[in-house]
Structure 1
Amino acid sequence: MSDRYEAVRVRISGKVQGVGFRMWTRDEALRLGLTGWVRNEVDGSVAALVAGPDNAISTMIERLRRGPAGASVSGVETEATRLEKMPTDFRIT
């Protein structure tokens, strides 16, 4: 496992709105020491920016594939991204 810091944009599709997905995502990210944001999208998906150690990001992506109780995740798309400045917290936007 590496201590490199990375940032990944994630789009989660399925039954992911109206089930506490954003709050759950924030809580899981904070447990893993990650920073970034999460938000609902108009198409019914949830988008997130997750930044931190690459091993924690990998763990977070696996957790996003399952989601919280009540969610039904049908897809998770990820895209590595470069940030000029790393976020300092994890926010619901």
Structure 2
Amino acid sequence: MKKEHRNAHPYVGMWVTADGHIRHELLPNGRYDEARGNRKSAYQGSYTMKGDHIEYVDDTGFTADGDFIDGVLYHAGMVLNREEHREGDQK
């Protein structure tokens, strides 16, 4: 298995709203996958990073952006925190 995450950006991973409704996964290949509620892959596209600023282009051409401030992602009026997996958690 290729270990893409070895050189991945530090913000790669799952970001989630406090209520768990929005699940935003930043993939190491420059793509993202966003789930909303029970709808998996509600939005997909690419992203680029400049410092702590992120620019998104979804596969339909819609653009958005966000900023990482003190370990929190502020994106399109949402506040997302990194999801931490604990030992014993199941996916």
TM-score, scaled to structure 2 = 0.28
More relative contact order, 1 or 2 (CA 8 Å, 6+ apart): 1
Q: Which has the higher strand share?
A: 2
TM-score, scaled to structure 1 = 0.28
Q: Which has the higher helix share?
A: 1
Greater radius of gyration (CA)? 2
